Structure 1
Amino acid sequence: MEILIKIFENIMILSDAMSFYILVGLIIAGVLKQLIPDNFISSQLGKNKISSVIKSTILGIPMPVCSCSVIPLAKTLEKEGASKGSVQSFLIATPITGVDSIMATYSFFGWIFTIYRVITAIVIAIITGIVQNFIENKDIKKDQHINFSVSEPIHPTKNTNTETKCDNSCCGTKKVNKKFSVKESFNYAFNVLFKDIYIGLFIGLIIGGVFTTLLPKELLEPLFEYQFLTYIAVLIISLPLYVCATASLPIAAAFLLSGMSSGGVFVFLSAGPATNAITMGVVASMFGKKSLLIYLGVISILSIFFGYIFDNFFSNLEVFNIHTHPDEFSFIDTFSTILMFTLMIYSFIKSKYNNQH
């Protein structure tokens, strides 16, 4: 019973540390959703060029989507003619650089770690896309020697604020004036985006609480003494684990409390959200096993590289940014946690109701 109480206490500590920032991040994401045209991203991507990879990464930064909801978006981009590299860059950068993920990362690890995570995510996304497109272009050139009838990808039209209405005789465009709506912002934040992450977030908090309480530090200490052994072990854990960019943070916090280096935590937070089992399945089905190997290989190598850089150049930095006792949190933190769990319960009940009807 004492262990269960301690697990619950650690779950509440993790929740109090991040709940306020999660809620603020969701609200900002809802506002961004209203301000950014729906087809803004898809209209900007094109051929297998470096510019398309950079565009997909940069344009994905303000998109308010998590690791879960980015998958259907990536599928849409692929259908509209975006290159393999562009789609993969979008898959990597968008969840980690989302405003909710940034705010939640700051709540645990402070601004320096957060900025480092965002910048390296952008770099990893761009390099992955460039490598993917480079190999793709080489394969296309090989095919052209064998078969001269290589089809060109379909390019999306650059039409960011129009919808097309066609009949049998003509086709014209009509501008859509998208008015800002506070109601729609909150609806997207708490009925759409939060719905995508609440299960993963809840599971992440449970795992984080259990790990913080029960993870045997004595057994892990020998592992943590060897940097690269830590990185490899974390990579093996994070590759198949389906935890979104935000929900992975409580688990990462538990690792750090157990003695793992900041670089090891970075590897988990960098590789995990981009390489879960579902994303790997999607990449393989869209682009093939060779593209999946490139995707996993580049992410793994660069995650370890940047984790090593962080451990060796920021070793004196105080990374952990949360209190470790419930009494040290403010009323706002506690209220935000209550509100967050209330939203979780509401989302769960609503989901069950919708499934039954």
Structure 2
Amino acid sequence: MEYITLFFSALVDLSNAMAPYILFGLLFAGILHELVPDSIVKNHLGKDSIVSVIKATIFGIPLPVCSCGVIPLATSIKKSGASNGSTLSFLISTPITGIDSILATYGMFGWVFTIYRVITSTIISIIAGILSNMYVKKEEIRAARQTKPKAVFSMAAPTTENTIMNFSTVQTQQSSQKEEVCSDGSCDEKKNGIVKSTFSYAFGTLLKDIASPLLVGLLLGALITVAVPENLSEILVKYNWLSYIIVIAIAVPMYVCATASLPIAAGLMLAGVSPGAAFVFLSAGPATNTVTIGVVKKMLGTRTLYIYLGTIIVGSIIFGLGLDYLFRDVNVKELVHMDEHASLIAWASTFVLWGFVLFYVIKPYFFKEKECHDGSCGTV
């Protein structure tokens, strides 16, 4: 009974510490989604250069896209002509950060930890992209020679050009339509539509995508906080390298988004694990999982896959060691910011967040049959 009480107490503390920042981050992410069109991202990543890699990394940092959501976006960017390095750096930087994750990291661990996380993820992404462009050129040349004869006699090039022309025509028509919409005095309705779309994306699409992993992350974080025995944390603190190996072995294949990984990292630190080991989980966990590994191999090749995994693992460990050195004189548990007396805003945010999370997690089980009553399931 005592453990159950401690578990729920830890769960409430984690929720109160994170909820305000997650909700604000989601709202900011919705605004960002409406202001920054996807075409801007796609049009700057085609060159096989360091500048293109840096652009891809910078574009990816604030985007509120999780580990699974970045896969179709990266695939689209690659098909639009982005280089291997640009695609890879975007694929790494985007799921590690995100404006909602950045704000939640600040709320949980403070600004020093947050800045360190953003800078190091940027460095890892850029290095991976540069290495990919350097060492994959031979593979691309070999593949181009094999496919070149087929491309000469195929209709692929005209089809692509027609597609681009059609897409441009659609964009022009859409632009004209937008001008016509505002010419009849309906701009106020358009603004209302933008506000509605912002909230719909933030608390509908985005929060729905992360609801399940966030729930799991909060539960695991609270469980780790109370379940890790004292002697195990002492072993991990004494033999730091062991904790790094354990965390890497768990983080690389596991699917966890950047925001949902925060309560797990907090639980590790509250159990006595070093900040560096927790950082390794925050870095490698969102950036890799079994699905992304398969996609990278298929889309970018085996050599790029090795660069992808090697850069993330080695970079995370090196920067984890650096973080342990930076906080060598700081009590680990003092880094996690959880007030005993949460404010009214924190409690309200917790209720709102848990309401949405439980709704999106439970909804498929209760409304699945109801949605099929109209016969639409057979038409999907």
Q: Which residue in the other structure is 2:67 paired with?
A: 67
Q: Which residue in the other structure is 1:320 paired with?
A: 335
Q: Which residue in the other structure is 1:37 paired with?
A: 37
SS at match of 2:169: strand
Change (3 A) 1:144 1:91: closer
1:253 equivalent in alignment to 2:266: yes
Contact 1:240 1:277 in 2 (8 A): yes
Q: CA deviation at 1:288?
A: 3.0
SS at match of 2:47: coil
Q: Which residue in the other structure is 2:182 paired with?
A: none
TM-score under structure 2 length normalisation = 0.83
TM-score under structure 1 length normalisation = 0.88
Change (3 A) 1:264 1:57: same
Change (3 A) 1:353 1:43: farther
Q: CA deviation at 1:173?
A: 5.9
Alignment deviations for residues 95-119 of structure 1 (CA, whole Å, 9 cap, x no partner): 2331100011111100000000001
Change (3 A) 1:289 1:330: same
Paired with 2:248 and 2:293, the residues of 1 have a C-alpha distance of 14
Amino acid at match of 1:331: L
Which range is displaced more, 314-323 or 211-220? Answer: 314-323
Q: 1:295 aligns with which of 284, 308, 315?
A: 308
Q: Which residue in the other structure is 1:335 paired with?
A: 348
Paired with 1:212 and 1:65, the residues of 2 have a C-alpha distance of 28
Which range is displaced more, 81-90 or 279-288? Answer: 279-288
Q: Which residue in the other structure is 1:96 paired with?
A: 96
Paired with 2:330 and 2:354, the residues of 1 have a C-alpha distance of 32
1:84 equivalent in alignment to 2:88: no
Which range is displaced more, 216-225 or 193-202? Answer: 216-225
Contact 2:237 2:273 in 1 (8 A): yes
Change (3 A) 1:38 1:146: closer
1:114 equivalent in alignment to 2:139: no
Amino acid at match of 2:123: V
Q: 1:165 aligns with which of 163, 169, 185?
A: 169
Amino acid at match of 1:311: D
Amino acid at match of 2:198: S
SS at match of 2:337: coil
Amino acid at match of 1:323: M
Alignment deviations for residues 146-171 of structure 1 (CA, whole Å, 9 cap, x no partner): 9986979x9x99xxxx96337xxxx9
Q: Which residue in the other structure is 2:15 paired with?
A: 15
Q: Which residue in the other structure is 2:279 paired with?
A: 266
SS at match of 2:257: coil
Written as runs of structure 1 = structure 2, the 5 A alignment for 1:71-220 is 71-141=71-141, 164-165=168-169, 175=175, 177=178, 180=191, 181-220=194-233
Paired with 1:151 and 1:316, the residues of 2 have a C-alpha distance of 62
Contact 1:65 1:95 in 2 (8 A): yes
Amino acid at match of 1:81: G
SS at match of 2:82: coil
Q: Which runs of 5+ in 1 are unaligned?
A: none
Q: Which residue in the other structure is 1:3 paired with?
A: 3
Amino acid at match of 1:241: M
Number of aligned residue pairs: give it.
346
Change (3 A) 1:174 1:204: closer
Contact 1:163 1:175 in 2 (8 A): no
Paired with 1:5 and 1:261, the residues of 2 have a C-alpha distance of 26
Contact 2:66 2:286 in 1 (8 A): no
Higher helix share: 2
Which range is displaced more, 107-116 or 210-219? Answer: 210-219
Paired with 2:76 and 2:291, the residues of 1 have a C-alpha distance of 16
Contact 2:85 2:132 in 1 (8 A): yes
Aligned-pair identity (%): 46
Paired with 1:254 and 1:147, the residues of 2 have a C-alpha distance of 51
Change (3 A) 1:315 1:72: same
Change (3 A) 1:78 1:208: same
Amino acid at match of 2:301: G
Amino acid at match of 2:284: A
Which range is displaced more, 24-33 or 40-49? Answer: 40-49
Paired with 1:2 and 1:232, the residues of 2 have a C-alpha distance of 32
Q: CA deviation at 1:333?
A: 0.7
Change (3 A) 1:145 1:258: same
Contact 2:283 2:316 in 1 (8 A): yes
Amino acid at match of 1:268: F
Report the aligned-residue RMSD. 2.8
Paired with 1:353 and 1:116, the residues of 2 have a C-alpha distance of 43
SS at match of 2:259: coil
Q: Which runs of 5+ in 2 are unaligned?
A: 180-189, 372-380
Contact 1:164 1:174 in 2 (8 A): no
Which range is displaced more, 112-121 or 338-347? Answer: 338-347
